[in-house]
Amino acid sequence: MADQSTRNRLILRKTVVLVGMMGAGKTAVGRTLAAHLGVPFRDSDHEIEQAANMSIAEIFARDGEPFFRRKESQVIERLLDGTPLVLSTGGGAFMSEGNRRMISDKGVSVWLDAELPVLWNRVRHKDSRPLLRTPDPYGTLKALHETRAPVYALADITVPSEAGRSLDEMARLVARRLYETRPDVLETVP
């Protein structure tokens, strides 16, 4: 990444869209990355919850997953059409070909790639994950991981989300990868 002693500023030219499994750290890393870059942070799930005035789990229960996915696409499109920011998406958002195309056209996708044991450690004690409300949540997580990983691999950039890395380290790693590989997204100005 740019040498801090040069006192150049990093300017975000396109929205950075964090994708990956639940528990990969998209929201936490996204907030930290946005703070480092001095840009807004948005979480698509939070935006949907605010608009509906209910939790994702309640939306799933009342209206079903297809309804939720339509709302998710609308929120992502609205945020991509605005000022560049860091956007955390729900784990299933990148599974939609339409969302992938929209993200590719208007932003840059970054897959936070976490191994299954790391994901399980992070999500197993949370009951805010409607897709894991099954008799075998680990088996469900494993099946989702196996299905989704090949699609997440289509992201523009992959960054390993490893246990033991701090949020600051993760945010700096994402920024470094953006700076090194996507000058159209993150550039320095004097």
Query: Is 126 annotated among the ligand-binding residues?
Result: no
Query: Is 26 annotated among the ligand-binding residues?
Result: yes
Query: Is 28 annotated among the ligand-binding residues?
Result: yes
| One-letter amino acid for residue 51 of the chain | A
Query: Is 122 annotated among the ligand-binding residues?
Result: no
Pairing of strands 107-113, 15-19: parallel
Query: Is 61 annotated among the ligand-binding residues?
Result: no
CA 101, CA 168: separation in Å to the nearest integer?
30
Query: Is 45 annotated among the ligand-binding residues?
Result: yes
- List the end-to-end C-alpha distance of the chain, in Å, as a whole number: 15
Query: Is 148 annotated among the ligand-binding residues?
Result: yes
Contact of 12 with 181, CB cutoff 8 Å? no
CA 111, CA 159: separation in Å to the nearest integer?
6
Please, which residues bridge with residue 19 across strands? 111
Query: Is 163 annotated among the ligand-binding residues?
Result: no
Query: Is 171 annotated among the ligand-binding residues?
Result: no
Contacts of 30 (CB under 8 A, 6+ apart): 18, 41, 43, 86, 87, 88
Question: Residue 36 class from Cβ within 10 Å (0-12 exposed, 13-18 middle, 19+ buried)?
Answer: middle
Q: Whose structure tokens read 């701090």?
A: 166
Residue ranges of the annotated binding site for substrate are: 45, 69, 91, 148
Residue ranges of the annotated binding site are: 23-28, 45, 69, 91, 129, 148, 165
Residue ranges of the annotated binding site for Mg(2+) are: 27
Residue ranges of the annotated binding site for ATP are: 23-28, 129, 165
